[in-house]
Amino acid sequence: MTTYYANHREQMREQNRSYERANRDKRAVYKANWYADNIDRIKMEKHTRVFCSSCGKTICAGWMTEHKKTRAHLANVQRSACREAGVNEFLTYEPNG
């Protein structure tokens, strides 16, 4: 954190908050228009098929964030890390361990 920011942090935050309050409606309209203009591109990007190199699966790009949290994917990542480290026995994946 820079010294200027540290000294003026609350003042800068209050300026941002007052700007947000003053321009809330304008920003809402802008966001709605932007979304309407870009909806086709967003849908196309979400439906693009991408390859997960850890699992060897082809999945939707929109599902990729959730896929990275799945138990199977995390286990595959751990297996490949063990393989790269030269460990022969696969460790079992423990979600909270």
* Least Cβ distance, residue 58 to Zn ion (angstroms): 10
Q: Which of 70, 71, 77 is nearest to 56 (CA)?
A: 77
In the three-class reduction of DSSP (H, G, I as helix; E, B as strand; rest coil), residue 59 is classed as strand
Residue whose CB is less far from Zn ion, 52 or 61: 52
By CB under 5 A, residue 55 contacts Zn ion: yes
Within 71-90, the residues that bind Zn ion by CB under 5 A are: 73
Q: Which of 65, 63, 57, 61 is nearest to 48 (CA)?
A: 61
User: 59 forms bridges with which residues in the sheet?
Assistant: 50
Question: Quick one: how far is CA 94 from the chain centroid?
Answer: 23
Residue choice 5, 38, 46, 52 for contact with Zn ion (CB under 5 A): 52
Task: Name the segment binding Zn ion (CB under 5 A); options: 25-33, 34-42, 51-59, 87-95.
Answer: 51-59
Q: Which residues bind Zn ion (CB under 5 A)?
A: 52, 54-55, 73
